[in-house]
Amino acid sequence: MSETLNLARPPQLLLRPATAQDLPQLIAIENACFTPQEAATPAAFALRLQRIPDCFWVAQLHGQVIGLINGPVVAERYIRDELFKQLNASPATGGHQTVLGLAVHPAHRKLGIGRLLLSQLETVARTAQRETVTLTCLQDRVPFYEALGNVNEGASASVHAAQVWLNMVKPLR
């Protein structure tokens, strides 16, 4: 599999692995898309870049990062809150691909960037024989994820940011 993927639409869009040099742009996007309680911290992003570089992708347009997706691979079907603070490198094969963060800069929404980022992470997960892609989301995002083949499996045990999160799972096998 290639490290980068040039997309046909728009031709200037590039999906590539995130790097430490992207950190300021990643933090800016995260803070534009999530409340301070929900957003990943700079330290959390730095840890993710270090530990799960294979599962941290960005969308870049005209040299600017405009979107991101990231999450470790875990043994359990659902995301646990501990993953937001500590995580291990992903195993070579198997497990469940999580999505801890999917964010697209507000100026670039409604263009399919989030769908492309999810598709990229799913491709990586399928190649590594993962069982599912699993994430949590708020109620208002359920239709978006369901339209992409995810199944709402009910309320999560998460108490992250004092919100009610729902488990969304997409089988890959």
What integer pLDDT is reported at residue 5 of this predicted model? Answer: 43
What integer pLDDT is reported at residue 123 of this predicted model? Answer: 97
What integer pLDDT is reported at residue 2 of this predicted model? Answer: 39
Ordered DSSP codes for 24-62: HHHHHHHHHHS-TTTSPPHHHHHHHHHH-GGGEEEEEET
What integer pLDDT is reported at residue 8 of this predicted model? Answer: 45
pLDDT tens digit at each of 173 positions of the chain? 334 444 445 778 999 999 999 999 999 999 999 999 999 999 999 999 999 999 999 999 999 999 999 999 999 999 999 888 889 999 999 999 999 999 999 999 999 999 999 999 999 999 999 999 999 999 999 999 999 999 999 999 999 888 899 999 999 98
Cβ-based neighbour number of residue 101 at 10 Å: 23
Reference 67, options 115, 9, 126; nearest CA is: 115
The whole-angstrom separation of Cα 26 and Cα 19 is 10
